[in-house]
Structure 1
Amino acid sequence: MSKNLLVELGLEEIPAYIVTPAMVQLKDRMAQFLTDNRLAFEEIEMFSTPRRLAVRVRGLADQQEDLTEDFKGPSKKIALDADGNFTKAAEGFVRGKGLTTADITFREIKGEEYVYVTKHEKGKSAKEVLVGIPEVLASMTFPVSMHWASNKFEYIRPVHTLTVLLDDEALEMDFLDISSGRISRGHRFLGHETEIATADSYEDDLRKEYVIADSLERENMIVEQIKAIEKAQDVVVEIDQDLLNEVLNLVEYPTAFMGAFDAKYLAVPEEVLVTSMKNHQRYFVVRDKAGKLLPNFISVRNGNAEFLDNVIKGNEKVLVARLEDGEFFWREDQKLEIADLVERLKAVTFHEKIGSLYEHMERTAAISALLADQAGLSDEEKTDLARAAAIYKFDLLTGMVGEFDELQGIMGEKYALLAGETAAVAAAIREHYLPNSADGDLPETKVGAVLALADKLDTILSFFSVGLIPSGSNDPYALRRATQGVVRILEAFGWTIAIDELVEKLYALEHDSLAYEHQTEVLDFFRARVEKMMDKSVSKDIVTAVLNSSNFVVSDMVETARLLAEKAKTADFKPAVESLSRAFNLAEKAAADVAVDSSLFENEEEKALAEAVEKIAFTTDLVSNIDQLFALQPVIDAFFDNTMVMVEDEAVKTNRLALLAALTNKAQQVAQFNQINTK
Structure 2
Amino acid sequence: MTHNYLLEIGLEDMPAHVVTPSLKQLADKTAAYLTDNHINFGKITQYATPRRLALLISDLADKQDDIEEDVKGPAKKIAQDAEGNWSKAAIGFTHGQGMTVDDITFREIKGVEYVYLHKAIAGQPVSEILPGLIDVVKHLTFPTRMHWGSTAFEYIRPIHWIVSLLDDQIVPMQLLDVEAGRVTEGHRFLGRQVTLKQATDYVDALYAEKVIVDPAQRKQLIADQIDAIAKDNDWHIDLDADLLEEVNNLVEWPTAFAGSFDAKYLAIPDAVLITSMKENQRYFYATKNGEMVNAFIGVRNGNREFLDNVIAGNEKVLTARLEDAAFFYAEDQKKTIADYVERLRTVSFHDKIGSMHDKMMRVQTIADLLAKRVGLDGADRDHLHRAAEIYKFDLVTGMVGEFAELQGVMGRQYALLAGEDPAVAQAIEEHYQPISADGDLPASQIGTLLAIADKLDSLLSFFAVNLIPSGSNDPYALRRQAYGIVRMVAANHMAFSVPELQEDIVEAWNEANQTNGLDYVTNQGAVTDFMRDRVKQYLQSQKSRHDIIDAVSGMPTADVSAMIDGAKILEAHSHDDNFKAVIEALGRVIRISDKDPENGVVDSRLFENESEEALSRAVETVSDNFDAQVSDANYLALAGLEGVITTYFTDNMIMAEDLTVRHNRLVQLTHLASLIHQFGNIAEIIVK
**Superposition TM-score tier, normalisation by shorter sequence:** over 0.9
Q: Within 2, Cα distance between the matches of 1:590 and 1:80?
A: 54
> 1:324 is matched with which residue?
323
The answer for the alignment partner of 1:645 in structure 2 is 654
Structure 2 unaligned spans of 5+: none
Task: Name the structure 1 match of 2:574.
Answer: 568
Who is 2:353 aligned against? Answer: 354
Paired residues for 1:26-105 under 5 Å: 26-105=26-105
Q: Does 1:618 align with 2:617?
A: no
Higher mean C-alpha displacement, 563-572 vs 524-533? 563-572
Partner of 2:599: 593
Within-5 A mapping of 1:239-258: 239-258=239-258
**Residue type at the aligned position of 2:659:** E
The one-letter amino acid of 1:676's match is: I
Between the aligned partners of 2:196 and 2:562, the Cα distance in structure 1 is: 60
Distance in structure 2 (CA, Å) of the matches to 1:426 and 1:359? 21
Contact 2:535/2:560 (<8 A) preserved: yes
RMSD of Structure 2 on Structure 1 (CA): 1.5
- Whether 2:332 is the aligned partner of 1:366: answer no
Q: 2:334 corresponds to which residue?
A: 335
C-alpha distance in 1 between matches for 2:565 and 2:50: 45
1:516 to 509, 517, 520: 520
The SS at the match of 1:668 is helix
Look up the match of 1:496.
Answer: 495
**Shift of the alpha carbon at 1:72?**
1.2
Q: Which is worse superposed, 278-287 or 405-414?
A: 405-414
Cα displacement (A) at 1:512: 4.2
Q: Give unpaired runs (5+ residues) of structure 1.
A: none
User: Which residue number in structure 2 is paired with residue 283 of structure 1?
Assistant: 283
Q: Is 2:456 aligned against 1:450?
A: no
Per the alignment, do residues 168 and 422 of structure 1 end up closer, same or farther by CA in structure 2, a change over 3 Å counting? Answer: same
* Cα distance change, pair 598–589 in 1 and its aligned pair in 2 (3 A): farther
- One-letter identity of the residue aligned with 1:95: H
Counterpart of 1:56 in 2: which secondary structure?
Answer: strand
Q: Distance in 2 between matches of 1:73 and 1:502?
A: 60
Partner letter of residue 588 of structure 1? Answer: D
The corresponding residue for 2:614 is: 608
**Aligned-partner Cα distance in 2 for 1:452–1:80:** 72
Question: Partners in 1 of 2:279 and 2:524 — Cα distance?
Answer: 39
Separation of aligned partners in 2, 1:429 and 1:565: 38
Pairwise CA distance, 1:411: 1.1
Residue 631 of structure 1 is matched in structure 2 by: 640
**1:592 Cα offset (Å):** 5.1
Is residue 683 of structure 2 the alignment partner of residue 677 of structure 1?
Answer: no
**Counterpart Cα distance in 1 of 2:171 and 2:597:** 75
Distance 1:130 1:631, change over 3 A: same
Counterpart position of 2:260: 260
Aligned partners of 1:507 and 1:519 also within 8 Å: no
CA distance in 1, matches of 2:630, 2:663: 33
* Structure 1 residue 412 corresponds to structure 2 residue 411: yes
Name the aligned partner's letter for residue 618 of structure 1: F
Supply the AA of the counterpart residue of 1:315. Answer: N
Mapped partners of 2:175, 2:490: distance in 1? 52
CA distance in 2 between partners of 1:241 and 1:142 (Å): 23
Cα deviation, residue 621, structure 1: 6.9
CA contact (8 A) 1:251 1:301 kept: yes
Q: Residue 374 of structure 1 contacts residue 497 of structure 1 at CA under 8 Å; is this kept in 2?
A: no
3-state DSSP of counterpart to 1:148: coil
Structure 1 window deviating more from structure 2 (549-558 vs 640-649): it is 549-558
Matched with 1:304 is 303
Residues in 1 aligned to 2:290 and 2:197: alpha-carbon distance in whole angstroms: 49
**2:671 paired with 1:662:** yes
Q: Once the two structures are superposed, what CA deviation does each residue of 1:31-82 show, in whole Å capped at 9, x if it has no partner? A: 0000000000012111111111111111000100011111111222222222
CA contact (8 A) 2:528 2:558 kept: no
Letter in 1 for 2:326: E
Residue by residue, what CA displacement relative to the aligned partner does 1:315-362 show, whole Å, maximum 9, x if unpaired? 111101111111111111111011121111111111000010110011
Please tell me whether the aligned partners of residues 75 and 115 of structure 2 are also in contact (alpha carbons under 8 angstroms): yes
In the other structure, the counterpart of 1:234 is 234
CA distance in 1, matches of 2:199, 2:401: 51
Kept in 1, the 8 Å contact 2:73–2:116? The answer is: yes
Give the AA of the match of 2:652.
T
Between the two proteins, the alignment pairs up a number of residues equal to 678
Residue 126 of structure 1 pairs with residue 132 of structure 2: no
Name 1:224's counterpart in structure 2: 224
Q: In structure 2, what is the equivalent of residue 215 of structure 1?
A: 215
How far, CA to CA, are the matches of 1:186 and 1:284 in structure 2?
Answer: 28
Answer yes or no: is the 8 Å Cα contact 1:551–1:557 preserved in 2.
no
Give the deviation of 1:599 after TM superposition.
2.2
The answer (yes or no) to whether the contact 1:70–1:118 under 8 Å persists in 2 is: yes
Q: How far has the Cα of 1:664 moved from its partner?
A: 1.3
Q: Which amino acid aligns with 1:374?
A: R
Q: Are the aligned partners of 2:599 and 2:670 in contact in 1 as well (CA < 8 Å)? A: no
* Residue 557 (str. 1) matches residue 563 (str. 2): yes
The 3-state SS of whatever aligns with 2:678 is: coil
> How many Å separate the matches in 2 of 1:156 and 1:566?
48
The match for 1:527 is: 532
Q: Which amino acid aligns with 2:558?
A: F
Q: Secondary structure at the match of 1:107?
A: strand
Partner of residue 145, structure 2: 145
Report the secondary structure of 1:534's partner residue. Answer: helix
Deviates more, 1:148-157 or 1:499-508: 499-508
Shift, 1:678, TM fit: 2.1
**In the alignment, is the contact (CA less than 8 A) between 2:598 and 2:666 conserved in 1?**
no
What amino acid maps onto 1:651 in structure 2?
Answer: T
Alpha-carbon shift at residue 385 of structure 1 (Å): 1.6
Q: Normalising by structure 2, what TM-score?
A: 0.96
Q: Is the 8 A contact 2:565 2:630 kept in 1?
A: no
Distance in 1 between residues matched to 2:535 and 2:297, nearest whole Å: 42
For residues 373-406 of structure 1, give each alpha carbon's deviation from its aligned partner in whole angstroms, at most 9, with x where no partner exists: 1122122111112211111111111111111111
TM-score by length of structure 1 reads 0.97
Q: Is the deviation greater in 366-375 or in 571-580?
A: 571-580
After the TM superposition, which of the residue ranges 380-389 and 47-56 deviates more from structure 2? 380-389
Q: CA deviation at 1:644?
A: 0.3
Aligned to 1:547: 553
CA separation in 2, counterparts of 1:515 and 1:395?
Answer: 30
Residue pairs, 1:412-431, within 5 angstroms: 412-431=411-430
Deviation at 1:223, TM superposition (A): 0.6
Shift of 1:15: 0.9
Partner letter of residue 567 of structure 1?
Answer: H
1:539 deviation in Å? 2.2
Match of 2:43, as an amino acid? E
From the superposition, tell whether residues 227 and 635 of structure 1 become closer, same or farther in structure 2 (CA, over 3 Å).
same
Mapped to 1, the partners of 2:79 and 2:187 lie a distance apart of: 67
Q: Does 1:21 align with 2:21?
A: yes
Mapped partners of 2:579, 2:372: distance in 1: 39
How far is the alpha carbon of 1:535 from its aligned partner?
Answer: 4.7
CA-CA distance at 1:104 after TM superposition: 1.2
Structure 2 Cα separation of the partners of residues 317 and 422 of structure 1: 38
SS of the counterpart of 2:679?
Answer: coil
Quick check: 590-599 or 91-100, which moved more?
Answer: 590-599
- In structure 2, the residue corresponding to 1:10 is in which secondary structure? strand
- In the alignment, the residues of structure 2 paired with residue 598 and residue 201 of structure 1 have an alpha-carbon distance, to the nearest angstrom, of 90
Aligned to 2:12: 12
Instruction: Measure, in 1, the Cα distance between the counterparts of 2:473 and 2:575.
Output: 39
**After alignment, is 85-94 or 647-656 more displaced?**
85-94
What is the percentage of aligned positions where both structures have the same residue? 51
